[in-house]
A and B are shown apart, each in its own frame.
Chain A
Amino acid sequence: MKIRNLTDFASGLLYVIVGVCAAYIASGYTMGTAANMGTGFFPFWLGVFLAAIGVAVCASSVLSGAAREKLASWNWKSLLWVSVSILVFALLFEDAGMVLSIFALVLVSSLASREFRWTGAIANACFLNVVCYSAFVWLLNIPLRVWPDLWF
């Protein structure tokens, strides 16, 4: 048996894993009966159904008629910098305030680009601070912490 379509095979595998986990966790909840569904009834069957679809997707990827397809390569650099920048923003936002977190988000996420330049990124962060302050704080009147407590 040879896996012809690796993309499909991986997706199917993912469906099976998610489905089995969902059904397993759901089986720990009150199941109830069809007439009186418990917490776990609906998600349990969804999980089972998802796993079944996963098996079917995997099966179709080994059929002789399946298109040959390799796994697409991942752009780890962009993935890393973009996700880290959002995480840093989330960490900072409530305590350090909007201004500093925008700087952190823009500087870190800009590293993902192949054309990164410090000056450009800093200018962009300043500009976005002005825009966000006018839009969220001034125009929409949303109560956001702008600076950390220590400063102002």
Chain B
Amino acid sequence: MELLQHLATGLTAALTLQNLVYCFIGAFLGTLIGVLPGLGPVATIAMLLPATYTLPPTAALIMLAGIYYGAQYGGSTTAILINIPGESSSVVTAIDGYQMARQGRAGVALFTAGMGSFIAGCIGVLILASFAVPLAEIAFEFGPTEYASLMILGLVGATVLSSGSLLKAMGMVIIGLLLGLVGTDVNGAPRYSFGIQELSDGIGFVAVAMGVFGVAEIIGNLEKDELRGTFVAKVTNMWPTREDTRRMIPAILRGTAVGAFFGILPGAGAAVASFSSYAMEKKISRHSEEFGHGAIEGVAGPESANNAAAQTAFIPLLTLGIPASATMAMMLGAMTIHDIQPGPQVMVSDPALFWGLIVSMWIGNLILIILNLPLIGIWVKLLTVPYRVLYPAILVFCSIGVYTVSNSAFDIYLVCLFGVVGYMFSKLKCEPAPLLLGFILGPLMEENFRRALLLSDGNFSVFLTRPISLVLLVITGILLLSILLPAFRKTREKAFVEV
């Protein structure tokens, strides 16, 4: 039972008092920030990153995992209570969750979301743990050629599975890649730094994420009317009835299966997973007329799906070192700040860190469900704080936070610049997530291309003659071709527009 042994290693690492405390703080802060309207997990992680700097790597990663789950969870809470999904993966939760809240069943909806997330999280951790070793073994066979192809697959996948125009998403990926190249290349020559000293080390990913996902959001939100006056549900009874439980459990299990599958795929894993799960529940339910009017399956399924996907999305990151989504790209960046380069070698070189992180995700899930019961009152209060008070606070935390990354005021200017750029992109309906993914992968991708072509003496056919690389590129080709198929195209559009 190798798996159990690994999990035991993880448990001993994660269950120290110090790490438990950090897991708790992370989950708490993550939920706190995630609950705030208009702040998704990417901006939340960027904002809370400074809180982990002074910690040892294992503790920092565990806290980050807590922040990540907290942020996800916070998003569902706002979706249910005020009909404002904190992020794309809880958009569908808002449909039936908010209706349940209006019927006075907000507590039950929150409990269902929490329970679904927890069960999905438990199963997701097991999948993650059992996939990690064999996948890492394959990854050890990877050379630069395979990595370059894998990144192409990841980036193309991210555009195909994202909502909106494929071409525009690809453009955003390339703009991201270009931004990632700013600074100094491997030979020490300056590139796109225009003689600005601060740019010679490249653009900080925290500044980009805060600008595009934080500041741009704020400017966008300010043009909408104040969200007050909307109905904020009172949370009374949290316990589901027997009938609720009977309808909830199968939906949770189905959602977990759907989510685990989509999470591994590159791209908008968690969002696609929750959309698909909702569509599936609606189709197979015997109460399909209740959907849109507070069907409990409409909360249980998608919430389990997005949490299972959140879990399995770590598989490509931890075993291959390739992030599958913008949020995972943030985790990659955060790990690099702590001098950990995710990839197959981490599992071997630092098993306590690797398995400790995996186990702490499970503990984080457990903490979240415990945390949620007594603290729901605080989250509800937080939602009644008017936006005019909230957004200056977000700006303050972003500005000080980004400064502390490298103690440079230049990064604050960058936040401002990327805020304006991000606002422009949102007006042009260009999605920011592919940009962030490209940005984080840019230098890695160039490096692998360079090495692959150096080894092959400039012969591009090497990408097609090495078997693993060929398989990856064939999958990429299939993904690209599938978009041309009318049937797939229709489902893709429908998945994002209709539900």
Contact of B396 among A15, A47, A90, A106 (CB under 8 A): A106
Report B409-452 residues with CB < 8 Å from chain A CB.
Answer: 409-410, 412-413, 415-416, 419-420, 423, 427-430, 446, 449-450
Also in contact, A8 and B392, with CB within 8 A (given A37-B450, A39-B191, A72-B427): no
Write the B169-200 contact mask toward A (1 if CB under 8 angstroms, else 0). 01100110110010001010101100000000
Do A102 and B453 touch (CB < 8 A)? Answer: no
Supposing A37-B450, A121-B392, A141-B54 touch, asked if A89 and B399 sit within 8 A by C-beta, the answer is yes
B368 to chain A, nearest CB (A): 22
Tell me which residues across on chain B come within 8 A of A11, comparing CB atoms: 168, 171, 428-430
Binary per-residue interface labels of chain B (214-229) against chain A in the complex, 1 for a CB within 8 Å, 0 otherwise = 0100110011001000
CB neighbors of A among B362-410 (8 A): 386-389, 391-393, 395-397, 399-400, 403-404, 409-410
B208 to chain A, nearest CB (A): 14
Known: A57-B167, A136-B400, A140-B50. A113 touches B388 (CB 8 A): yes
CB-CB under 8 A from A36, the residues of chain B are 454, 458
A138 at interface, CB cutoff 8 A: no
State the CA gap A18–B172 with chains docked (Å): 11
CB closest residue in chain B, given A69: B429
B175 adjacent to A50 (CB under 8 Å) = yes
Chain A residues with CB under 8 A of B236: none
Q: Kindly report which residue of chain A lies nearest to residue B450, judged by CB atoms.
A: A37
| C-alpha spacing A114/B222, complex, angstroms | 8
Q: State the Cβ distance, A107 to closest chain B Cβ, in Å.
A: 8
Chain B residues near A1 (CB-CB < 8 A): none
Known A-B contacts A94-B409, A113-B387, A132-B396; A39 and B171 likewise in contact (beta carbons under 8 Å): no
B32 nearest CB across to chain A (Å) = 12
Report the minimal beta-carbon distance from A65 to chain B, rounded to whole angstroms.
Answer: 13
A10 at the interface (CB under 8 A from B): yes
CB < 8 Å: which of A18, A86, A89 contacts B175? A18
Instruction: List CB contacts (< 8 Å) of A16-38 with chain B.
Output: 18-19, 22, 25-26, 29-30, 33-38
Neighbouring B residues of A14 by C-beta, 8 Å: 428
CA distance in complex: A50, B171 (Å): 6
Interface residue? A118 (CB, 8 A):
no
| Complex: chain A residue closest to B394, CB-CB | A109
Which residues does chain A contribute within 8 Å of B409, judged by CB atoms? 90-91, 93-94
B131 at the interface (CB under 8 A from A): no
Among A19, A46, A90, A115, the residue within 8 A (CB) of B226 is A115
Is the beta-carbon distance between B389 and A42 smaller than 8 angstroms? no
Contact with B along A33-77 (1 / 0, CB 8 A): 111111110110011011001101100100000000001101100
B residues within 8 A CB of A113? 222, 387-388, 391
Question: Using a CB-CB cutoff of 8 Å, which residues 92-127 of chain A contact chain B?
Answer: 93-94, 98, 102, 105-106, 109-110, 112-116, 120-121, 124-125
Please, which residue of chain B has its CB at the minimum distance from the CB of A125? B392
Q: Known: A11-B429, A35-B457, A82-B219. Contact between A90 and B413, CB under 8 A?
A: yes
CA distance A141 to B51 in the complex (A): 10
B239 within 8 A of A: no
B397 contacts across to A, CB distance below 8 A:
132
| Chain A residues closer than 8 Å to B189, beta-carbon distance | 29-30, 39
B460 within 8 A of A: yes
Asked if A83 and B395 make an inter-chain contact with CB atoms under 8 angstroms apart, the answer reads no
Name the distance in Å between B234's Cβ and chain A's nearest Cβ. Answer: 25
CB distance from B13 to the nearest CB of A (A): 24
Q: Is the CB of B392 within 8 A of A105?
A: yes
Decide: A83 and B419 in contact? CB cutoff 8 A: yes
Cα distance A33–B400 in the bound complex, in angstroms: 44
Given A56-B167, A57-B167, A128-B392, A10 contacting B404 (CB threshold 8 A): no
Question: Taking the complex as formed, is B165 at the interface, i.e. its CB lies under 8 A from any CB of chain A?
Answer: yes
- Asked whether, in the complex, the Cβ of A106 is within 8 Å of the Cβ of B392, the reply is yes
Of B178, B185, B387, B457, the residue contacting A39 (CB under 8 A) is B185
User: CA separation between A40 and B450, bound complex, in Å?
Assistant: 12
How far does the Cβ of B206 sit from chain A's closest Cβ, in whole Å? 14
Cβ-defined contact, B396 with A105, below 8 A: yes
The listed residue (A40, A46, A144) touching B400 by CB distance below 8 A is: A144
A142 interface contact, C-beta 8 A: yes
Given A18-B175, A71-B427, A110-B388 in contact, is the A82-B449 Cβ separation under 8 Å? no
Chain B residues, Cβ within 8 Å of A50: 171, 174-175, 178
Alpha-carbon gap, A29 to B165, bound state (A) = 33
User: Bound complex: CA of A36 vs CA of B454, how far in Å?
Assistant: 6
Find chain A residues with CB under 8 A from B399 CB.
Answer: 86, 89-90, 93, 105
Determine the chain A residues whose CB is within 8 A of the CB of B429 once the complex forms: 7-8, 11, 72
CA distance A63 to B450 in the complex (A): 39
Task: Tell whether, in the assembled complex, residue A53 and residue B174 are in contact, meaning their CB atoms are under 8 Å apart.
Answer: yes
Q: Do B226 and A78 touch (CB < 8 A)?
A: no
Within 8 Å by CB of B416, from A56, A71, A83, A136, lies A83
Contacting pair A90 B412 (CB below 8 A) = yes
List 27 contacting pairs A-B, 8 Å CB cutoff, sorted by A: A11-B428, A15-B175, A34-B458, A34-B459, A35-B457, A37-B453, A43-B191, A50-B174, A50-B178, A57-B168, A72-B429, A75-B219, A75-B223, A79-B219, A82-B419, A83-B416, A86-B413, A89-B399, A93-B399, A93-B409, A105-B396, A114-B226, A115-B226, A115-B386, A124-B389, A128-B396, A136-B400
B: residues with CB less than 8 A from A are 50-51, 53-54, 165, 167-168, 170-171, 174-175, 177-178, 181, 185, 187, 189, 191-192, 215, 218-219, 222-223, 226, 386-389, 391-393, 395-397, 399-400, 403-404, 409-410, 412-413, 415-416, 419-420, 423, 427-430, 446, 449-450, 453-454, 456-460
Given contacts A14-B428, A37-B454, 9 further A-B contacts (CB under 8 A): A35-B453, A39-B191, A72-B427, A74-B427, A83-B419, A93-B403, A93-B412, A106-B396, A140-B50
The 7 closest A-B pairs by CB, nearest first: A35-B458, A90-B412, A34-B458, A75-B223, A78-B222, A86-B416, A113-B388
